Amino acid sequence: MLDLDAEVAATQLAELTTRAAHLAGDHPIRDILDIGAGTGTGTFALLRRFPEATVTAIDTSDEMLSHLRASAARHNLADRIHPLRADLDEGWPTTPRADLIWASSSMHHMADPDRVLRDIHTTLRPGGLLTVIEMERMPRFLPDDLGFGTPGMEARCHSLLDEARTAHLPHIGSDWPSRLTAAGFTILESRDLTVDIPSPLPETAIRYAHATLSRIRSALADQLSPEDAATLDALLTMEGPQALRTRTDLRVHSTRSVWITTRTR
């Protein structure tokens, strides 16, 4: 799903890295840290934008880092990526000083994000950039009325997801501008990164919808009403009159909040 998200949002990510390069000005970008690198969405976008740079890709998951290594090898980028397994809740690992630190959908997972932001501040070279990206809700794909089941199924799923995320991830929806400022950063730019792809969707976007809705179905298995569970199951079948692949009214809509900051002290 993360790899498909990277493909679907490739244009917007390229625009964002271009903006970061512009805001960096004369400050060279050679050493980059990607916090919560996952399968490398940010890592590869940054390497494309900054051809002189190397990336230390930090993640808690050996599986994610193994996937990233394999992708780097396929793209002949293995010598520019340094995977590092680390849990930032346990303390800041030994890393090089950085010219740019990228934290995409990772800060809200931290037990103590303020401490992590202070560690980032220490690691970032003066004049360097910290880019924080947060997506508070899963992408939306479906019309309200599917023509079967009770209208509003996707909205009900998102309400249940919001409840679960609030309970387990208390920093979702945090006041990140205030946290960033308190940690010693100056916000250079706040913006939304919006992906909005109308129907008919390309094949990649259909696969993205299927992967995301499958994950929602699994996450909410014990909370969905029998009717909503049956509706999702019908959508997720590979064939049939109600399958996602046969629909002509799918779209992709997601919004991420972005803050590009610099170290001020």
Domain CATH number, residue 54: 3.40.50.150
Q: Are residues 145 and 192 in the same domain?
A: no
**Are 213 and 95 contained in the same domain?**
no
The whole-model pTM stands at 0.93
Report the range of poorest mean pLDDT among 8-12, 52-56, 79-83, 237-241.
237-241
Counted domains in the chain: 2
What is the reported pLDDT for 137? 82
Judgement on whether residues 132 and 219 belong to the same structural domain of the protein: no
Same domain, 121 and 53: yes
> Cα–Cα distance between 183 and 116 in angstroms, integer?
9
Assess whether 163 and 44 both reside in one domain.
Answer: no
* In a shared domain, residues 59 and 153: no
183 and 211 belong to one structural domain: no
pLDDT given at position 170: 80
Domain residues for 19? Answer: 1-136+173-196+255-265
pLDDT, residue 93, reads 96
User: Residues 163, 105: one domain?
Assistant: no
Rounded mean pLDDT of 121-146?
94
Percent pLDDT > 70 in the chain is: 100
Q: Are residues 183 and 262 in the same domain?
A: yes
Q: What is the pLDDT of residues 106-116, one digit of tens each?
A: 999 999 999 99
Q: What is the pLDDT, as a whole number, of residue 238?
A: 84
Q: Which residue has the higher pLDDT, 168 or 36?
A: 36
Q: What pLDDT, in 10s, does the model give residues 141-167?
A: 999 999 999 999 999 999 999 888 877
pLDDT at 173: 83
Whether residues 192 and 207 share a domain: the answer is: no
Query: Could you please report the per-residue DSSP string of the chain?
Result: -HHHHHHHTHHHHHHHHHHHHHHHTTS---EEEEET-TTTHHHHHHHHH-TT-EEEEEES-HHHHHHHHHHHHHTT-GGGEEEEE--GGG-------EEEEEEES-GGG-SSHHHHHHHHHHHEEEEEEEEEEE--S--B---S--SSS-TTHHHHHHHHHHHHHHHH-TTTT--HHHHHHHTTEEEEEEEEEEEEEPSSPPHHHHHHHHHHHHHHHHHTTTTS-HHHHHHHHHHHSSSSTTSGGG-S---EEEEEEEEEEEE--
Are the C-beta atoms of 177 and 190 separated by less than 8 Å?
yes
**Judgement on whether residues 70 and 160 belong to the same structural domain of the protein:** no
> Do 98 and 208 have their domain in common?
no
